[in-house]
Structure formats: structure tokens, C-alpha cells
Structure 1
Amino acid sequence: MTERVPVLITGGGVAGLTAALLLQQQGVAAVLVEKHARTSPQPKARRFNQRSNEVFRSLSLGDAVAEASAPLASFNGMLAGTTLADAQWPEITEAMRASFAKHATMGERSPAPSVLCPQNVLEPVLRDAAEARGVSVRFATELVSFTQDDTGVTAELRPADREPYRLEAEYLIAADGSRSPIREALGIPRSGYGHLADNLDIAFRADLTELVRDKRFNLCTIENPAASGAFVSVNGTDRWLFSTSDFPGSATLDEPGWRELLRTVVGVPDLDVEVLGRMPWESAMHVADRFAHGRVFLAGDAAHAMPPMAAAGANTAIADVHNLAWKLAAVLRGTASAALLDTYHLERYPIAYATAEFSSLVSGHLGTMVKSVTSGEGPRFDPSAAVFGVQYDAGAFIPDGRGPAPVDHYGPAGRPGTRVPHAWLDGTDATDAPDAPRVSTVDLAGPGFVLLTGPDDRRWTAEADALGVPLVHVDNPAWLTEVELGDDGALLLRPDAVVAWHSTSDIGLRDAMSRLLTSPVAVSA
């Protein structure tokens, strides 16, 4: 008998596992398959920004991610030198001071921190949580083929330890990497700058605790005749990664040769070092021209491959599935028509393309990218606007006529299509009450729509109750001013913390929800 499930996810990386957790939170049973037997052993992405951590916080994983990232909590900043032993902090330029000042304000705009948490550390946290919450997680199981029609997707799955079997799903999420067999099977072309550079990551074990005791770094640029690149902290003690160009001769270098190369760039001739693995990778920009095809949706690297600066690809992947999961859930529950799913590509494609394009402005190995930041010669941007101020051009929201949000500074102002600004509901902040439980306006999102009102909510109580939408009034004058609401105004918040409707709109709340869900909204008596 063929198994049938609402959603099949292929790919057990950050995108796939986060999608599974978000769907489970929405009450949607998903099956996740991954051809490898375990999560990736490679550090890969490490810097997960505040917006991604807001997603983990919404999944009650904030403490687990904080614990996983604790070993690198004090590893900040960037070094440069000919070897790690002689590397020094760079001279602080005016451009760097300006950048530091902008980054310093980001903590005020979110209830969650930015963390250094290597992907090989984060993914087991996500997998454990998914399995503990009842998600069917099937590693060592490969999707070998699939077909789709108007009723669903039929997949042929091949476990490593038993015979292949069929599984039917209403929808398929392809989070199967930049070489996505699913995307290729669908014939979806990709656009962008294409190939930028060939790179090689060398993971190794060596106790460098004393060497880095007074210079705990996030990244260290190395310019050395033997090999130039960048050191990456994995656990801050004995696990490290050296990322370099795939230089001539690397393919024939034997194990002793690799150990000697690492001793040279570390700057310790007698270093006891163990090479754990080597991973060639392509720095490139490839963005799928369509993020959806019928009942199949691309997410993460399958949809957009980009250079790894600031873990842009992984953070974009989390935003992808945060956008998609609630829409799939609404359609599967019958509260929205399938037309809502068209807004996934409409919203995510322009953002992913712009992010990939920006990340590609500096090409080369990781050291080159880091140097562009420390020298102040890299592309300029406002980090708060990039992380918190992004606005969708069109999609599942009702424009209120105010025009687009600024891109050169933070100022979403509660516009529909932007992430709701953060404010503590209890009037405290982390400085005033570090041990007190706090709830942010961002935390109010999900699992369904939520209506945020000013302190005078009499105008909205009956309508929100009739529509089955929870109502929370926010008595925070600064926040009301920021989002341009009077005391009796309201915002409709999507499950992904994006503002869907603002009460200054010409369209009423009930009609707005019908348009958002592309389906008439039931009203209780």
C-alpha cells in the first residue's frame, strides 16, 4: 500500500529541517528524506543572523541554538597576517568604525541575537528537535524519481537498508542542494553571474587554544606564498577550517603534504595536526528562474546558490521555508486556495536574486571576501535595512499606499510586506530586566494570523472574534509611532512575522483576509 502524506521534503540540511519543524508547528505532517546517513560533517555556513534566530525562537529552539553556539560566543572580529601565528587585528579605519556603529544598533531591532553556530553543529540540533516532535525523518533514503499531476506528487524512494518504495504527497519541497536533481528534472533554468571562483575547504584538528587565547577570531585572512585564504573557527579549540583557492597541485597533494601546508599557514612548524577532510566548492551565483513548478517548490541552495559571505545562502534558505510553510499549511487546511502558493515565488525570488547578486560583488576565496570588509573597499550597505527592512514587491499582503520602504537605512514603519518592527510588550529591555521573561511583537506571529492593535482595541474586538483572529493590543507609544498607528489602529500579522495589512488601508479587515488567502473568509455568528 502506497504511503500518502501532506508534504514530502527532500534534503536534510538547514532548509529541509527548518521546513519540517515549521510545518510540524503548523500541524502538518511531513516526511523528510535525505540520501546521506547523517547531517553534514562540514562547518559550511556559520553566521546565523537575528532574523534566522527569530525563526528558531518561534520554534522554541532559542536556548538550544544558544547552547550549541556557546563555544564561539566570544570569537568575534577578523584577523589578518601571513600566518595565523603572526596575524593581528586590522587597523580600524573610519569606514570600519561606521560599519561597527551600524551593526551595534542591530541588537535593538530584534528579540534574538546573531550567533556563530557552524552548520555541522546546528543541523543535529534541528534534526533532534524534528524527531523529538514527531516528524518522520528518514536519513539514508534517496529520492530517485518523481512524477506530479493535478492531485499530487508520487516519489520513488530508495532506503540504504531495504527495497525502494513509493510515497504520495500533496506537495514536494526540494531542499536538495545547489545541484538539485529535482530542479534539473523539472528543467528549471538558472540565471546570474554563474561561476566566480574555485575554492577548497580543509577541515582539520589541532589544539590552537594557546595560540588564539588573546585573539579569538571569527575569520582570519592569510596571505602566504604557500596558500592564501582564511582560517575559520569551528569550535575555538581544536576544530578549524582553512578555506583557500583550489590551487594547482592540490589534487595530487598527499596526506603529509596537506599537514605540512597547514603547519606553514598556521605558522607552527611542529604542529600536531590531523586533516579531517577536504571539500572543493564553487563560489558562484545561480538563481533558479522559477521557485515553483506545479506542486514542487525549490528552497535553499536548490533555488539560489551564492557566495558564502555572512552565510547569506543559509539565512536566505531559512527565510524561504518560513515564507512557504504557513502557506502550504493554509492550503492544506482549506482556509486558503492554491493560488496563495503562487506568492511564494512572487515574494522570495526577487529577494533571493538581490541577495545573491550582492553577495557576488566580491569574488574569490573566503580571504578575499573578508579583506574586502576589513579594508572598507567592499560594497556598502545598511545591515539593519538588509536584515530587518526588506520589503516584498508583491504577494500575500495589501499595500497601504505609502510606497516602498527605504533601502539605505532601516525604516519599514509597519508597511505591509515588511517584517513587523520589534518592541518588548512588557516595556522592558534586556538591560533593564535581564532575567525577566519578555515577549516581543515579533514573537506574536503564528501559527495563524494575529491582529495587533493600539491600546484602544474596541474598534476591532468584535470583528477579530468573528474572523477567528487572535487580538493583542500593544501599549507601547514608541512602537505605535514607528509603525504609524494611532491608539485605535491595527496591523494584521502573518505567521512569518510579515505585516499583511495596515488599518490605514482603504480595504477593510475581512476583505483584506479574503484577498490574502485568495478565498472567502468564514465569519462566525
Structure 2
Amino acid sequence: MTTRVPVLISGGGIAGLTAALVLRREGGYPVLVEKHAGVSPQPKARRFNPRSTEVFRLLGLAAEVAEASAPLASFTEVLVGPTLAAARVREMTGTMRERRKQQARIPELSPGPNVLCPQVVLEPILRRAATERGVSVRLGTELVSFTQDDDGVTALLKPPDGEPYELAADYLIAADGARSPVRTALGIERSGHGHLADNLDLYFRADLTELVRERPFNLCEIDNPVASGAFLSVNGTDRWLFSTADFPEAHTLGDGDWHDLLRIVIGIPDLDVELLSRSPWESAMRVADRFRQGRVFLVGDAAHMMPPMAAAGANTAIADAANLAWKLAAALAGRAAPTLLDTYHAERHPAGYAIAEASSTVRGHVGDMLAAFTKPDNRHDDLPATMFGTQYAEGAFVPDGRGPAPVGHYAPAGRPGTRVPHAWLDATTSTVDFAGPGLTLLTGPDDERWITEASDLGLRLVKVSHQDWLAEVCLPPDGALLLRPDAIVAWHSASATPLAEALSRVLGTKVASVQPQ
């Protein structure tokens, strides 16, 4: 007899693990399969923005992520030079000064920090948490094939040892990367700019502690006739990445050749260096035309492939997972209609496409991207608006008639379809922290009109008396916001739609206040 589970997740990277953890927080019990038994040979994504660390905070992992990112906490400089040894801090341009001013505002807008934490360091934290919290994590297990019908998905799984077996699930999440076998099997086409550049990452070991002691860098642009590109810090001591352009003869070089190349671009001829891995990769923009097909959903790179310069790929994947997982949990628990799941594509496809397109404005290898990103005449959108200002045009929320928020600066004002603004309510509690489990009603200090209705509707009620926050979200003392588990506002009391009706529209199922007998 085939075992049946609520949700099967294919892929144990950032997207799949985040989806699994949010599902558990919302009461679901997913099974996650990952074809690789060990960690990646490459550090992969490194920068996780405050929207992502807000998710880790909601999952109770903020302290572990902070500890894991501590080694690179001071690595903030951008260097430039012919070699790493000769590199100096890049001269500040107007663009860079404006960017730093915008970055300085970020701590005012979020309880989550901006961290450098290589994916190979972060993934084990997420995996351990998932396992400890009841997710069935099956490493070395590959999803070989699957079928779906109106009732669910049946997958054929191949374990590391033993015979393949079938597992049935109500839903399948494809978090299986840019080459996604699941997306390919579904025949989902992708749109976008396509191929942009061929790149090559050299992940290596070398003790550069003394070399970088006075110049802790996040990125170092290298302009060298042997190989131009960029160095990226992995642990700040003896693990580094050099990213350059791929070239036709690369496959003919042996380890000794690569060691020589690295010594040249580092600028230390007798350096003890060890090449840990060499990874060709394509810089491209390709976005799936559909993020959902039947009972199968695409998240992360399976849904949207983008260049790395804006460090948006993994962060967008985390936002996908947070958006989808609570909806799946609500539908599976009977709290919402299956139609709620349609809002995943409606919300995340436009957002994913826009982010991938913005990340594709600069082509080439990381060094080219870095040079273009910091040039004096380069223009960037307002960073706080870009990071926190995603605004869904349609989806699981009820508009309140105010129209869209500004795009040139961050001012969501509590509009439905936008992230709830942050304010510290005490030394450790942010308004963002009240996102989930389930839906939450945030009220002003005069909450009497909402207490009974919130209880009848099964909503947690949280009273907020922070005057600046109330003004920012345009709430009178007796107003209220309905907050989703992904920190998106679902309804504002300025709306003409009553709360019970709004909740029905959000969840796609009839919800009515229970009247006392």
C-alpha cells in the first residue's frame, strides 16, 4: 500500500527547507527528499537580506543564524585592484554614497539584520531544525518520476540504498533547482532575457588572514590580464571564492594550473593554495511561465533563475516558500479553500519576474557586474523600497481603496498586499513578530470592538499602542489590520469590507462570526 503524506518537497536547499519549516510552524507535516547526501561543493548564496532573516526570526532561528554569520560580520568593504594583495578600498562614488545612506536606514525598518552567511553554512542549520521539528528529511533520495490527478500526486522515489518506492502526497513542491526535473516534466516554459554570460567559480583554501586583516571585504573586483573577476569572502580566513569568466580551455587545466592562476590574481607567488572545487555556471534570466500546475508548485530557482549581483536569488526563494507554505497548511487543515493556492502564482510570479529582470540589468561575470554596479552614473532604485516594498496587485488580500503605494520610496502605510511595517514594541518584540502561526488581528489600543469578533473568527488578537507605528499604518485607535503568516497585510479596517467578509475572501471559503446564543 502506498503511503500518503500531505506535502512532498523535492529539493533540500534553501527554498525546500524554508518551505518545510514554515509548513511545520503552520501545523503541516511535510516529507522532504534531496538527491544529494552531503553539502554542496560550492558556498553558493551568501547574502541574506532582512526580509529573509525576518523569516528565520519567525522560525525561531535568529540566534543560530547570527552566530553562523558572525565570522563575516565585519566583511563589508568593496575593494578593487589588479590583485587581491594590491587591492584598495574602492573610491566612493555618488552612487555608492547614496547606496550607503540607504543601507544605513535598513535597521530602522526591520528586526532582521542583513547577513553574510554562505549557503553551505546556513543549510545545515535549517536541515537540523527541520529534522528536530518533525519534518521527514530523506537525504540521498531522488524523485525519479511523478504523476498527478485531481486527488493528489504519486511520486517514485529512489533511496540511497534499496529499491525505489512510491509515495503519495496531496501536493508537491518543486524546489529542485534551475534545471528542475519537475518543471521539465510538467512542460512549463520559461520567459526572460535567457543566457547572459558563462562564468566559472573557483572555491579554494588559502590562509589570507593577515592579507585581509585591515581590509575585510565582501567583494574585491580584480582587473588582471590573466583573469579578471571578483573575490568573495566565504569564512574570512581560509575559504574564498574567485569568480571569473568561463573560457573554452578551462577543462584542459590541471590543479597546478589553477593554483598558479590563483596565486597570480591573489598576488602572492609562493602562497599555499588548494583548489576545493571548480564550478562552471551560467548567468541567465529565465522565469517559469506558471508557478503552479495542478497540485505541483515551483519555488526558488525552479521558478526563477537570475544573475547573482543583486544577491536576490536565494532571498526571492525564501519569500516564495514563506508565501506558499502557509497557504498549503491552511488548505490542508480545512481553514481555507483550495482556491487560496491559486494566489501563490498570482502574487509570486509578477514579483519573481520583476526581481529577476532587475537583477539582469548588468551582464557578464561577477567582476563586470561589480564594476557596473558601482560606476558613478549607475542609478538604483530606493533600497528600502526594493527590499521591503513588494506590493502584490492581486492575491490573498482585500484592497482598501487607497491605490498603490509609492514606488520611489518606502511608504506602504499598512496597505493590503504589502509587508507590515516594523516597529519595536519593547526591547525584543517587533510588530513583524506577530506574523503567524495563522492569521493575526493587530488592533489599535481601543480594541473592544474587535475582541469578540476575533475570538469568534478564530483569530489571535494583538493590541498595539505604539503611536508612531499606528500613524505609519494609518490606523485610528480603534482600527485593525489582518496579518498573514508571511507578514503581508491581508485587510485594513479602512476598507468598506467587514472583517468576516474579508476573511472569507482571503481564505476563499465562507467564514462567519459565531453569534452568541
Pick the TM interval, shorter chain: over 0.9
Moved more, 331-340 or 37-46: 37-46
**Separation (CA, whole Å) in 2 of partners of 1:200 and 1:55:** 31
**Separation (CA, whole Å) in 2 of partners of 1:351 and 1:522:** 32
- The alpha-carbon deviation at position 462 of structure 1 amounts to 1.3
Quick check: 1:47–1:310 contact (8 Å CA) kept in 2?
no
**Separation (CA, whole Å) in 2 of partners of 1:463 and 1:390:** 30
Please tell me whether residue 523 in structure 1 is matched to residue 513 in structure 2: yes
**Separation (CA, whole Å) in 2 of partners of 1:522 and 1:298:** 33
Q: Which runs of 5+ in 1 are unaligned?
A: 427-435
Aligned residue in 1 for 2:23: 23
Quick check: 1:206–1:274 contact (8 Å CA) kept in 2?
yes
Aligned residue in 2 for 1:429: none
Q: Which runs of 5+ in 2 are unaligned?
A: none
Question: Within 5 Å, which residues of 2 pair with 1:52-451?
Answer: 52-426=52-426, 436=427, 438-451=428-441
- The alpha-carbon deviation at position 39 of structure 1 amounts to 2.9
Quick check: 2:227–2:244 contact (8 Å CA) kept in 1?
yes
- The alpha-carbon deviation at position 379 of structure 1 amounts to 4.0
TM-score, normalised by the number of residues in structure 2 = 0.98
**Which amino acid is 1:158 matched to?**
K
Residue by residue, what CA displacement relative to the aligned partner does 1:102-152 show, whole Å, maximum 9, x if unpaired? 111011000110100001111111111111112100010000000000100
Residue aligned with 1:309, SS = coil
Aligned residue in 2 for 1:430: none
**Separation (CA, whole Å) in 1 of partners of 2:242 and 2:22:** 34
- The alpha-carbon deviation at position 375 of structure 1 amounts to 1.8
Aligned residue in 1 for 2:461: 471
**Separation (CA, whole Å) in 2 of partners of 1:488 and 1:141:** 53
**Separation (CA, whole Å) in 1 of partners of 2:40 and 2:132:** 20
- The alpha-carbon deviation at position 377 of structure 1 amounts to 3.9
Quick check: 2:500–2:512 contact (8 Å CA) kept in 1?
no
Residue aligned with 1:286, SS = strand
Residue by residue, what CA displacement relative to the aligned partner does 1:369-390 show, whole Å, maximum 9, x if unpaired? 1112222344411111011111
Residue 443 (structure 2) aligned to one of 453, 460, 476: 453
Residue aligned with 1:459, SS = helix
**Separation (CA, whole Å) in 2 of partners of 1:239 and 1:475:** 48
**Separation (CA, whole Å) in 2 of partners of 1:502 and 1:255:** 61
**Separation (CA, whole Å) in 1 of partners of 2:57 and 2:77:** 25
Q: How many residues align?
A: 515
Aligned residue in 1 for 2:489: 499
**Separation (CA, whole Å) in 2 of partners of 1:42 and 1:69:** 17
Moved more, 127-136 or 194-203: 127-136
Quick check: 1:453–1:489 contact (8 Å CA) kept in 2?
yes
Residue aligned with 1:63, SS = helix
Aligned residue in 2 for 1:433: none
**Separation (CA, whole Å) in 1 of partners of 2:423 and 2:232:** 34
Aligned residue in 2 for 1:431: none
**Which amino acid is 1:487 matched to?**
P
Residue by residue, what CA displacement relative to the aligned partner does 1:318-364 show, whole Å, maximum 9, x if unpaired? 00010000100110011111100000000000000000000000010
Residue aligned with 2:220, SS = strand
Quick check: 1:83–1:265 contact (8 Å CA) kept in 2?
yes
**Separation (CA, whole Å) in 1 of partners of 2:447 and 2:345:** 35
Residue by residue, what CA displacement relative to the aligned partner does 1:242-294 show, whole Å, maximum 9, x if unpaired? 00000242121111100000000000000000000001000000000000000
Quick check: 2:173–2:299 contact (8 Å CA) kept in 1?
yes
Quick check: 2:200–2:246 contact (8 Å CA) kept in 1?
yes
Residue 498 (structure 2) aligned to one of 491, 496, 508: 508
Quick check: 1:13–1:40 contact (8 Å CA) kept in 2?
no
Aligned residue in 1 for 2:470: 480
Residue by residue, what CA displacement relative to the aligned partner does 1:174-225 show, whole Å, maximum 9, x if unpaired? 0000000000100000000000000000000000000001100001000101
Residue aligned with 1:176, SS = coil
**Which amino acid is 2:65 matched to?**
V
**Which amino acid is 1:88 matched to?**
R
Quick check: 1:78–1:218 contact (8 Å CA) kept in 2?
yes
Quick check: 1:335–1:521 contact (8 Å CA) kept in 2?
no
CA RMSD, 1 decimal: 0.9
**Separation (CA, whole Å) in 2 of partners of 1:21 and 1:379:** 37
- The alpha-carbon deviation at position 3 of structure 1 amounts to 1.3
Quick check: 2:36–2:141 contact (8 Å CA) kept in 1?
yes
- The alpha-carbon deviation at position 473 of structure 1 amounts to 1.1
**Separation (CA, whole Å) in 2 of partners of 1:88 and 1:221:** 10
Residue by residue, what CA displacement relative to the aligned partner does 1:153-189 show, whole Å, maximum 9, x if unpaired? 0000001211100000000000000000000100000
**Separation (CA, whole Å) in 2 of partners of 1:8 and 1:24:** 13
**Separation (CA, whole Å) in 1 of partners of 2:120 and 2:310:** 16
**Separation (CA, whole Å) in 2 of partners of 1:385 and 1:519:** 33
**Which amino acid is 2:22 matched to?**
L
**Separation (CA, whole Å) in 1 of partners of 2:253 and 2:156:** 40
- The alpha-carbon deviation at position 77 of structure 1 amounts to 2.0
**Separation (CA, whole Å) in 1 of partners of 2:407 and 2:450:** 33
Residue aligned with 1:397, SS = coil
Residue aligned with 2:280, SS = strand
TM-score, normalised by the number of residues in structure 1 = 0.97
Quick check: 1:13–1:39 contact (8 Å CA) kept in 2?
no
**Separation (CA, whole Å) in 2 of partners of 1:371 and 1:377:** 11
**Which amino acid is 1:254 matched to?**
G
**Which amino acid is 2:127 matched to?**
R
- The alpha-carbon deviation at position 522 of structure 1 amounts to 4.8
Moved more, 409-418 or 367-376: 367-376
- The alpha-carbon deviation at position 458 of structure 1 amounts to 1.3
**Separation (CA, whole Å) in 2 of partners of 1:220 and 1:249:** 25
**Which amino acid is 1:167 matched to?**
L
**Which amino acid is 1:462 matched to?**
T
Residue aligned with 2:281, SS = strand
Quick check: 2:501–2:512 contact (8 Å CA) kept in 1?
no
**Which amino acid is 1:6 matched to?**
P
Residue by residue, what CA displacement relative to the aligned partner does 1:276-315 show, whole Å, maximum 9, x if unpaired? 0001000000000000000000000000000012320100
Aligned residue in 1 for 2:2: 2
**Separation (CA, whole Å) in 2 of partners of 1:15 and 1:444:** 22
Residue by residue, what CA displacement relative to the aligned partner does 1:465-485 show, whole Å, maximum 9, x if unpaired? 111111111111111111011
**Separation (CA, whole Å) in 1 of partners of 2:141 and 2:452:** 50
Superposed structure 1 runs of 4+ greater than 6 Å apart:
none
- The alpha-carbon deviation at position 510 of structure 1 amounts to 0.2
**Separation (CA, whole Å) in 2 of partners of 1:147 and 1:522:** 37
Residue by residue, what CA displacement relative to the aligned partner does 1:383-410 show, whole Å, maximum 9, x if unpaired? 1101111100100000011111111111
